[in-house]
Amino acid sequence: MSDEHSNLPVVNLITEITHALSVRRGPLIVEQTLSCLADMNLTAESMQQLEPCMPSEFIDNFDVAVNNIPSQLSALANAIDASKYSIQWNRDLGQFYVKDAAVGDSYRNRNMNCILIGPQNGFFHSDKLIMGLFFLRPRTFYRDHDHEASEMYFNLTGPHGFRFDMSGWSDYPADSIVWNTPWLPHATRVYDVPLLTVFAWVENVDCLCRVVHTDDWVQLENELVTASAG
Ligand SMILES: [Fe+2]
């Protein structure tokens, strides 16, 4: 039998994500995410038990990220801080990529995610929605990739660089929504502030990510490391 009291930080986190999205309505991907959430039974009694795991080498960067969440999202920031040790943070690529995908060492060594809701490995089960937190340490380059699912990033920190369809870079601030439509290649570069984002997949959530090759990956990865050292 589950300990419903210990489930409360995670339930509260999902509640605060839902509340924050509900006052950022407009983009279709936000509406679709909220629609999936509204259909779910997100109570402490119905939550699955997952073994908590926070990689020790990530915790300092993670706390920096939480401290960089802007004040209008303070309730969500507090909910993340209160639940961070109750969450199963994943370091392996298995759920979203084939094991030997060419994501590069920058991404491979500097990313973690947690699944709050999903068809497998989440606290709550859904076949229509994957929602969780996605984290990248500072100076990470996340190479161009695409997938059949439609994806939301609700960026809680920033600025971070994004490019779409392998064209020009744009910086997105904290408290911004990015919508990656199906099969649209997208890449992310993280500067000094760690990336912490709420991600959601709707439609075709059983798909895998595909790396989309470009010739400038090594240059971009080196630029981020050089800027860090300078
Ligand atoms: Fe993506």
Looking at residue 230, its pLDDT comes to: 56
Looking at residue 125, its pLDDT comes to: 96
In sequence order, what E strands does the chain have?
A: 111-118, 124-125, 129-136, 141-146, 150-155, 160-164, 170-172, 176-180, 186-190, 195-202, 210-211
Question: If you count DSSP H runs as helices and E runs as strands, how many of each does the chain have, helices first?
Answer: 6, 11
Compute, in angstroms, the gap from residue 230 CA to the centroid of ligand 1.
30
Compute, in angstroms, the gap from residue 147 CA to the centroid of ligand 1.
7
Question: What's the pLDDT tens digit per position in 5-57?
Answer: 789 999 999 999 999 999 999 999 999 999 999 999 999 999 999 999 999 99
Neighbours of 190 (CB within 10 A): 25
In sign, the C-alpha dihedral spanning 207, 208, 213, 214 is positive
Compute, in angstroms, the gap from residue 83 CA to the centroid of ligand 1.
24
Compute, in angstroms, the gap from residue 26 CA to the centroid of ligand 1.
20
Per-residue pLDDT of the chain (230 residues; tens, 9 = 90+): 456 778 999 999 999 999 999 999 999 999 999 999 999 999 999 999 999 999 999 999 999 999 999 999 999 999 999 999 999 999 877 789 998 899 999 999 999 999 999 999 899 999 999 999 999 999 999 999 999 999 999 999 999 999 999 999 999 999 999 999 999 999 999 999 999 999 999 999 999 999 999 999 999 999 998 887 65
Helix 28-38 vs helix 4-22: angle between axes, to the nearest 10 degrees? 150
Compute, in angstroms, the gap from residue 145 CA to the centroid of ligand 1.
7
Query: Token digits for 195?
Result: 């990336």
* 8-state DSSP, 62: H
Question: How many residues can be counted in the chain?
Answer: 230
Alpha-carbon distance 130 to 113, whole Å? 12
Compute, in angstroms, the gap from residue 222 CA to the centroid of ligand 1.
22
Query: Token digits for 78?
Result: 């507090």
Alpha-carbon distance 173 to 169, whole Å? 13
Compute, in angstroms, the gap from residue 51 CA to the centroid of ligand 1.
26
Compute, in angstroms, the gap from residue 151 CA to the centroid of ligand 1.
6
Looking at residue 1, its pLDDT comes to: 44
Residue spans of alpha helices (H) in 39-157: 59-67, 74-83, 104-108
Neighbours of 38 (CB within 10 A): 10
